[in-house]
């Protein structure tokens, strides 16, 4: 490995090399089996004699930190000697020379979704990668990586021109979003679209309103920017507009499929939200994260296309329609924000990965996204129908389904149970191999009515019945689950 060694002055050069390699091994920068730089190479790099380096390596070898063989070189030993490490236990944050802003201490850690593979996976928000056309996608990406003949310089922060045009057409056709390529900004997922809008729109102390229960990451993001985040209740028609305070700078909503409860906001409610925004001067951030999967009812026009006042920013994602690992999303913004958004993307990360963007443009333009979506709709519909049937049947005594027209999950309330009871169900279910999210984890200001979010992005249809049977056993008799 290319270990950094920095020498100070001309005294005890061998000792300095020894100490730095030893420290790198002890703090884990060098792992067992890693090669040390060859003595000749390191000597040249540090302008010291080869003997100086050899002596340092020999001392490390004598203490058991490294091993060496002629022809193989010197490498970090598989069995490291036991060395007393500085105890960390009695350190207090006050000892740290640099401290993050206090807001980061109030924030929970990111969830670890890589942990194990639950036998029965009802986690929401995850599409089924087993059906993704990897070979096709690989072909498109590798065509973009063919070599120096293509432009591999920093590009346009707002996004690859072909992709901006493809997304504009895609959302115009599939969602009646009114957008030209200039209105589209390519981002690393919806999450970055929201980050850029936060940078562009939010001053510390501004009020941001969001649905309660709602999607947690934007809440944390807005808080990190110094905003005061307030939860607004949700009913069967989505966000309750009459409950919005007047001093809101931005309201974050999921009108096509309220996350996590599932309501589709009817036209009348949409119009009243737009009227409220016109009256108060607030910006509406419309998150349309999974409405490509719509199962019943007629689609309602997005707020973005109903808006006549330029107050709505629309954000979308390829995380559900393709893969969340691609980190590709976008926002469609009114002209008044274009210049600032472009600068915000530039200061954030300059641009999203260009080969991926170009490949996605082809994926959309060649009709491959539409084909994949048709296939996935069949797959997910069968799963959804299966869960809906169980909710109306064997689970009807313990769970009360919440109606939802779109998306990759169904939500149901526990018929009985105190606030927090759903977290106890989550724990019991996990022990039975069933992964399911409790509604409580999406509460913003007020405790959520206990319930479960049953995602079907990851679970094969033939595993649903057994998964739900086990879940049923965890729910026990209605009323026996109590909060913790």
Ligand X SMILES: Cc1ncc(COP(=O)(O)O)c(C=O)c1O
**Which stretches of the chain bind ligand X, using CB under 6 A?**
125, 189-191, 215, 254, 259, 287, 289, 317, 319, 324, 329
Write down the least CB distance from residue 51 to ligand X, Å: 55
The nearer residue to ligand X, 231 or 324, going by C-beta atoms, is 324
In Å, what is the CA distance from 27 to each residue of 1, 68, 238, 399, 405?
Answer: 15, 21, 51, 51, 52
Nearest CA-CA partner of 428 in 376, 379, 478, 481: 481
Question: In whole angstroms, what is the distance from residue 60 CA to residue 70 CA?
Answer: 16
Write down the least CB distance from residue 151 to ligand X, Å: 26
- DSSP lists the bridge partners of residue 76 as 66
Give the residue closest to ligand X by C-beta: 189
The nearer residue to ligand X, 39 or 321, going by C-beta atoms, is 321
Write down the least CB distance from residue 425 to ligand X, Å: 21
The nearer residue to ligand X, 5 or 283, going by C-beta atoms, is 283
The nearer residue to ligand X, 157 or 189, going by C-beta atoms, is 189
Write down the least CB distance from residue 318 to ligand X, Å: 7
Rg (CA), the chain: 27
Torsion of CA 107, 441, 246, 257, to 10 degrees: 130
Beta strands in 114-271 (DSSP E): 120-121, 184-187, 207-212, 228-235, 238-239, 248-253
Write down the least CB distance from residue 120 to ligand X, Å: 20
Write down the least CB distance from residue 126 to ligand X, Å: 8
DSSP string, 424-454: HHHHHHHHTTEE-EEGGGG-SSSPPPPEEEE
The nearer residue to ligand X, 19 or 441, going by C-beta atoms, is 441
The nearer residue to ligand X, 259 or 456, going by C-beta atoms, is 259
Long-range contacts of 146-155 (CB under 8 A, 24+ apart): 152/354, 154/350, 154/351, 155/351, 155/354
Provide the token pair at 48. Answer: 């010291």
Nearest CA-CA partner of 380 in 291, 295, 318: 295
DSSP helix/strand/coil, 67 = strand
Provide the token pair at 164. Answer: 């901006």
The nearer residue to ligand X, 254 or 354, going by C-beta atoms, is 254
22 backbone dihedrals φ, ψ, rounded to 5°: -60, -45
The nearer residue to ligand X, 65 or 259, going by C-beta atoms, is 259
The nearer residue to ligand X, 254 or 352, going by C-beta atoms, is 254
Write down the least CB distance from residue 101 to ligand X, Å: 23
Write down the least CB distance from residue 439 to ligand X, Å: 14
Q: For CA atoms 139, 144, 146, 149, give the dihedral sign.
A: positive
Write down the least CB distance from residue 189 to ligand X, Å: 3
437 backbone dihedrals φ, ψ, rounded to 5°: -95, 135
């Amino acid at each position: 490995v290319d270990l950094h060694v920095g020498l100070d002055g001309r005294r005890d050069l061998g000792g300095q090399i020894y100490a730095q390699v030893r420290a790198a091994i002890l703090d884990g920068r060098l792992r067992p089996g890693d090669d040390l730089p060859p003595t000749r190479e390191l000597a040249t790099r540090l302008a010291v004699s080869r003997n100086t380096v050899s002596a340092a390596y020999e001392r490390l070898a004598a203490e058991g930190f490294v091993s060496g063989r002629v022809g193989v070189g010197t490498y970090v030993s598989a069995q490291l000697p036991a060395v007393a490490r500085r105890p960390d236990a009695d350190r207090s944050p006050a000892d740290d020379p640099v401290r993050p802003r206090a807001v980061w201490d109030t924030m929970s850690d990111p969830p670890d979704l890589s942990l194990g593979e639950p036998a029965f996976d009802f986690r929401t928000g995850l599409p089924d990668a087993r059906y993704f056309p990897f070979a096709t996608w690989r072909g498109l990406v590798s065509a973009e990586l063919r070599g120096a003949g293509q432009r591999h310089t920093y590009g346009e922060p707002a996004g690859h021109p072909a992709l901006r045009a493809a997304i504009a057409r895609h959302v115009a056709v599939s969602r009646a979003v009114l957008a030209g390529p200039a209105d589209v900004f390519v981002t690393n997922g919806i999450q970055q679209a929201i980050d850029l809008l936060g940078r562009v729109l939010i001053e510390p102390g501004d009020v941001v309103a969001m649905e309660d229960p709602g999607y947690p990451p934007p809440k944390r993001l807005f808080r990190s920017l110094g905003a005061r985040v307030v939860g607004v209740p949700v009913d069967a028609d989505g966000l309750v507009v009459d409950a919005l305070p007047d001093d809101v700078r931005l309201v974050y909503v999921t009108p096509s499929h309220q996350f996590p409860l599932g309501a589709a906001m009817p036209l009348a409610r949409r119009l009243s939200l737009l009227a409220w925004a016109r009256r108060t001067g607030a910006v509406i951030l419309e998150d349309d994260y999974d409405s490509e999967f719509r199962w019943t009812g007629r689609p309602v026009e997005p707020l973005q296309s109903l808006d006549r006042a330029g107050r709505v920013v629309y954000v979308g994602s390829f995380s559900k329609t393709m893969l969340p690992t691609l980190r590709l999303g976008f926002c469609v913004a009114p002209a008044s924000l274009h210049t600032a958004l472009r600068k915000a993307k530039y200061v954030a990360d300059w641009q999203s990965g260009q080969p991926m963007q170009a490949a996605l443009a082809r994926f959309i333009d060649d009709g491959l996204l539409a084909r994949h979506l048709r296939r996935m709709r069949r797959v997910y519909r069968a799963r959804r129908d299966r869960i809906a049937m169980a909710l109306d049947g064997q689970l009807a005594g313990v769970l009360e389904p919440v109606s939802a027209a779109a998306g990759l999950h169904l939500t149901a309330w526990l018929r009985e149970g105190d606030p927090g009871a759903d977290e106890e169900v989550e724990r019991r279910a996990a022990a039975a191999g069933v992964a399911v999210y409790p509604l409580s984890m999406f509460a913003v200001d007020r405790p959520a009515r206990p319930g479960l979010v049953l995602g079907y992005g990851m679970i094969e249809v033939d595993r649903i019945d057994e998964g739900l049977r086990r879940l049923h056993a965890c729910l026990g008799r209605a009323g026996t689950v109590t909060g913790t």
